[in-house]
Structure 1
Amino acid sequence: MAAQFTRKEVEARNQRDNAAIIIDNVVYDVTPFFDDHPGGVEVLLDNAGKDASQCFHDVGHSEIALEWRQQFVAGEVVPEEHWPVRSRDQQAQQAAEPLTLATLISVWGPPLVLAALAALFYMYLFP
């Protein structure tokens, strides 16, 4: 990547005819991708001119999407403005919620209570 951009330069590229985003300190020109983006043009326009790393990783893009974005690389952020980059393993660990009793109750509690009430109601109506 030969071209280097300051975050201020990328910030100015926030229009439909000239849009760029930053993902993990890499600058992507997303202008030609508007019509092809599976998530719609709005998400790209909302993040145009910004660091979209968190948004990009929260969505959980496929390996194909990770490879596909390479064709839109415009350059990188100047080294003195780099932000820390989380590895995919760190992202997966942060996204995974530990299995606890409270989690199980919050997920399975309401359906079990409704099933018990339905059974009691059935036994009351049809003795």
Structure 2
Amino acid sequence: METKFYSLEEVAKNDGKGGNRTWIVVKDSVYDVTDYLQQEEEHPGGNELIIEWAGKECTRPFDDAGHSSEAKKEMKQYKIGELREEDRKQKQQKKSGDAAAQAKNKENRRSCCSYLTCGLCD
């Protein structure tokens, strides 16, 4: 079976609102979780969490929630494709930009000789 590729823009349109399907992205894989949300047995953390991240990249919250290996296995059935390479790169650039900003802030804090009293450093 051939892998389908989706853009972040396509994923964003599938936010579960206005009759749209509910898609999420975890680790560059795109999942259609619409049918999962309609099951009688609700998500253990509450369907609201999935709805909150509908149409978005949610790898960090997914990992932070500490999903079991069973949950990860079950999730495979909802996979519909992968994120386009261009959008993966866009995410990586954003991450490295965030990392650069954090490093700069850290550098600025260290350069302040009176960081305990100046009030400008975190």
Give the TM-score taking structure 1 as reference length.
0.62
Deviations 1:93-112 (A, max 9, x none): xxxxxxxxxxxxxxxxxxxx
The structural deviation recorded for 1:7 is 0.3
Is 1:54–2:60 an aligned residue pair? yes
Is 1:29–2:37 an aligned residue pair? no
CA RMSD of aligned residues (A): 1.5
Q: Secondary structure at the match of 2:81?
A: strand
Is 1:41–2:44 an aligned residue pair? no
Is 1:7–2:11 an aligned residue pair? no
Give the TM-score taking structure 2 as reference length.
0.64
The structural deviation recorded for 1:60 is 0.5
Q: Which residue of 2 aligns with 1:122?
A: none
Look up the equivalent residue of 2:66 and give its one-letter code. Answer: G
The structural deviation recorded for 1:40 is 1.7
How far, CA to CA, are the matches of 2:72 and 2:22 in structure 1? 19
Q: State, as a whole percentage, how many aligned pairs show the same letter.
A: 31
How far, CA to CA, are the matches of 2:47 and 2:72 in structure 1? 18
Q: Secondary structure at the match of 2:45?
A: coil
Report the structure number with the largest CA radius of gyration. Answer: 1
> How many residues get paired?
84
Structure 2 unaligned regions, length at least 5: 93-122
Which segments of structure 1 move beyond 4 Å, counting only runs of 4 or more?
none
How far, CA to CA, are the matches of 2:13 and 2:80 in structure 1? 15
Mean CA deviation greater in 45-54 or 32-41: 32-41
How far, CA to CA, are the matches of 2:56 and 2:33 in structure 1? 12
Look up the equivalent residue of 2:85 and give its one-letter code. Answer: P
How far, CA to CA, are the matches of 1:52 and 1:72 in structure 2? 15
Deviations 1:33-66 (A, max 9, x none): 1134222211111000000101000001111011
Higher helix share: 1
